Chains A and B, each alone.
Chain A
Amino acid sequence: MVRIFIPADTTACALGADAIAAEVSLQAQNRGLDIAIIRNGSRGAFWLEPLVEIEADGSRYCYGPVNPGDVAGLFDAGFPGLFDHALFLGQATDIEWLARQDRLTFGRAGLIDPLSLDDYKQYGGYEGLDKALDMSPAEIVEAVTDSGLRGRGGAAFPTGIKWRTVLNAPADQKYVTANADEGDSGTFADRLLMEADPYQLIEGMTICAMAVGATEGYIYLRSEYPKALVVLSQVIATAEDANLLGDNILGSGRDFHIHIRVGAGAYICGEETSMLESLEGKRGLVRFKPPLPAIEGLFGKPTVVNNVLTLAAVSTVLAKGAAHYQEYGSGRSRGTLSVQLAGNIRRGGLVEVPFGASLRELVEDFGGGTASGRPVRAIQVGGPLGAYLPESQWDTPLDYEAFSEVGAMLGHGGIVVFDDSVDMLEQARFAMEFCAVESCGKCTPCRIGSVRGVEIIDKIGRNENGPANLELLEELCETLDSGSLCAMGGLTPMPVRSAVKYFPEDFEGSIANGFLR
């Protein structure tokens, strides 16, 4: 029997993977071939999806990108055997785009059946928890601190320090929450992990619970990810059956339960305090800090709020040791960064590399430039609240501090590429519009300022009193920046200011540019 792997990942399916699986099954049946189809996750090489793999001699051979219409022809040519074909890519390890990465977190993605606990364990899964169960809470926290791991959601707060705060907070109940409200445009790493290697998140949360003394955990999953919901629900049930979740985990005497809560389409709920409000069943209004969630979080109890990738990385830190994780990276940014190449890019997908690679390396070497074939003009890094960077900034190393120095941020690692047809005034306008749509409404600068921002940018676009309105826009940005409670209002100026600063020619008005906006 030949094992054939066809991803069930959202992007692979958006490109026809379900139809391919059905066609492969039908063709094999018609030809009397003995095959088994395994719906794996994606390896994150989305430019090669749908990527169909065949297992032979213990190796995996790839064909891609396969269209549903290609399947019959592939069978005619000898599929599922191995043969020379335009779509044949060789072994997965031969694909340079994948081979050049350092996959600490995404090593299993695409390789395993995401629903199979055996697969997960076969490739090192639950080694981290095994070790954690033999350690004291303080020792686990120390390992996480020593690894240098910082929050992958965007704020880059040292994870070990957050955990220590929760560990040291006396309470009758503590919580671990996974922020899976991955709302930034250009990001899909959390989704990929949850769909391709979901036990890693469960394991990371469990280790966290052991470290801080929590017995209840919540995954706050955005409603835009229906496939991840199905996968997570199944693996949580499997983990419970295997006593990896629930009461007296593996006989340790410790309990931990995980609940999934589905968001309802609000970007702001990715902000940690807004997420906690939403988990409590309320409007996602941002809370004042202090108190920190680590002291008074969910239902007023000490709570760890970590991004999916942060929690996932913890399993690697525990399994392989803090020193191993710490070896990767640059400066104070340790470990690997899961970069997501998106937008107008030829070879888009998930690239996991140590911190320190340059933006240019990512976009040009891995990304292969634009999908449209036109020159890259602007790159937005870090989601809708991140800066638009011109070519002069592309040699900036991907490192939290280096990005901060140039007035940008890495955020959750999303890189969105625009070619030279982009109108940066439109992009600045969208940043304000997005803030107006998604503001929770608590702070006036964010709620009202964003609406005024759209109006001002429209005036600039109509060439109405341009210089004065640009000055007013800068003042407005200053107000949002300094007068907002959270990053939504505080960082909306980042894309706006960077667009004005680096692409001033787009703000000179319609007449100057010779076309109507």
Chain B
Amino acid sequence: MRSPNGAPVAVVSAAVQKYADTPGGLLPLLHEIQADLGCVPKDSVALIAKGMGLSRAEIHGVISFYHDFHYQPRGQKTIHLCRAEACQAMGSRKLEAHVKSRLGIEYGGTTPDGRFSLEPVYCLGNCACSPSIRIGDDVFARVDADRFDELLDGF
């Protein structure tokens, strides 16, 4: 939260205030912080813990348990590539190799220009038209190497 204008602190405090009395409010709280700040800043854990009446270990435990939450900001767009069986049956292993080589990153990585991050996902619910990827909130169907390149060039 080392921000010159202190905005992240304000975001975290506001979110904590909003969810402090919500039963089981920690997940929505973390989602909201991440939506606003692009990540859950590591140094916000103490503030969240205090506001929610939990220990820092508990907050870290939750953040580290779920694939969606992360301490470091991601690229401008996150590309989720489906690794699950229906997509495998339609060639997603080949697509996976292409995507990694095209972006020059592995899962969990971000391109040096900060535009794209790559994450695995296990099913996007688009299994009748595999392979599937999700870029931001948009899902794309029947993606092969050419289609992926076309999509990437469109951004």
Contact = CB atoms under 8 A, between A and B. Distances in A.
A380 B123 CA distance: 15
A280 B24 contact: yes
Contacts of A47: 128-129
B97 interface: no
Given A282-B26, A342-B86, A384-B84, A188 B65 contact: no
A431 to B, nearest CB: 9
Contact of B130 (A342, A349, A414, A419): A342
B67 A281 contact: no
A262 B126 CA distance: 19
Interface of A: 10-11, 13-15, 46-47, 49, 182-188, 190-191, 223-226, 261-267, 278-284, 299, 340-345, 348-349, 371, 380, 384, 414, 416-419, 422, 426-427, 430, 434, 437-438, 440
A292 B29 CA distance: 28
A182 B126 CA distance: 12
Interface stretch (B2-10, B98-106, B109-117, B132-140): B132-140
Interface residues of B, number: 46
A324 B129 CA distance: 34
Interface of B: 23-31, 52, 58, 61-62, 65-69, 80, 82, 84-90, 93, 121-130, 132, 134, 137-142
A340 B128 contact: yes
Given A265-B66, A281-B25, A416 B86 contact: yes
A343 B130 contact: yes
Contacts of B142: 15
Most A CB within 10 A of own CB, among B30, B31, B52, B126: B126
A224 B124 contact: yes
Contacts of B61: 283
B127 A416 contact: yes
Contacts of B138: 13-14
A447 to B, nearest CB: 13
A281 B62 contact: yes
A10 B85 contact: no
8 contacts: A11-B139, A14-B139, A183-B123, A345-B128, A371-B90, A418-B89, A419-B89, A430-B88
A281 B127 contact: no
B112 to A, nearest CB: 25
B64 to A, nearest CB: 8
Contacts of B26: 281-282
Contact of B125 (A187, A417, A438): A187
B123 A187 contact: yes
Contacts of B62: 281-283
Contacts of A186: 84-86, 123, 127
Given A281-B27, A281-B62, A283-B62, 7 more contacts: A185-B86, A185-B127, A264-B67, A280-B23, A343-B130, A430-B88, A434-B122
B123 to A, nearest CB: 5
B80 to A, nearest CB: 8
Given A265-B68, A281-B62, A10 B125 contact: yes
Given A262-B31, A265-B67, A278-B27, A14 B85 contact: no
B125 A15 contact: no
A188 B128 contact: yes
Nearest to B84: A185
A419 B90 CA distance: 9
A148 B48 CA distance: 47
Given A14-B129, A262-B31, A343-B130, A185 B122 contact: yes
A190 B62 CA distance: 26
A343 B139 contact: no
Contacts of A416: 85-86, 89, 127
Nearest to B64: A283
A13 B84 CA distance: 20
Nearest to B127: A342
The 10 closest A-B pairs by CB, nearest first: A348-B128, A185-B84, A281-B26, A342-B127, A264-B66, A343-B89, A265-B67, A14-B141, A46-B128, A264-B68
B126 A14 contact: yes
B28 A11 contact: no
A380 B127 contact: no
A65 B129 CA distance: 12
Nearest to A220: B27
Nearest to B31: A262
A246 to B, nearest CB: 18
Contacts of A266: 65-67
Contacts of B128: 11, 46-47, 188, 340-342, 345, 348-349
Given A282-B62, A343-B127, A430 B27 contact: no
Contact of B129 (A49, A225, A279, A426): A49
Contacts of B66: 263-266, 284
B40 to A, nearest CB: 11
B41 to A, nearest CB: 17
A225 B90 CA distance: 21
Contacts of B85: 185-186, 343, 380, 384, 416, 427, 430
Contact of B137 (A226, A278, A342): A226
Contact of B139 (A13, A265, A279): A13
A340 B121 contact: no
Contact of A267 (B93, B122, B132, B134): B122
Contacts of B67: 264-266
A426 B83 CA distance: 13
A458 to B, nearest CB: 16
Contacts of B139: 10-11, 13-14
A261 B132 contact: no
Nearest to A189: B125
A419 B69 CA distance: 36
Nearest to A65: B129
Given A14-B139, A15-B142, A416-B86, A184 B126 contact: no
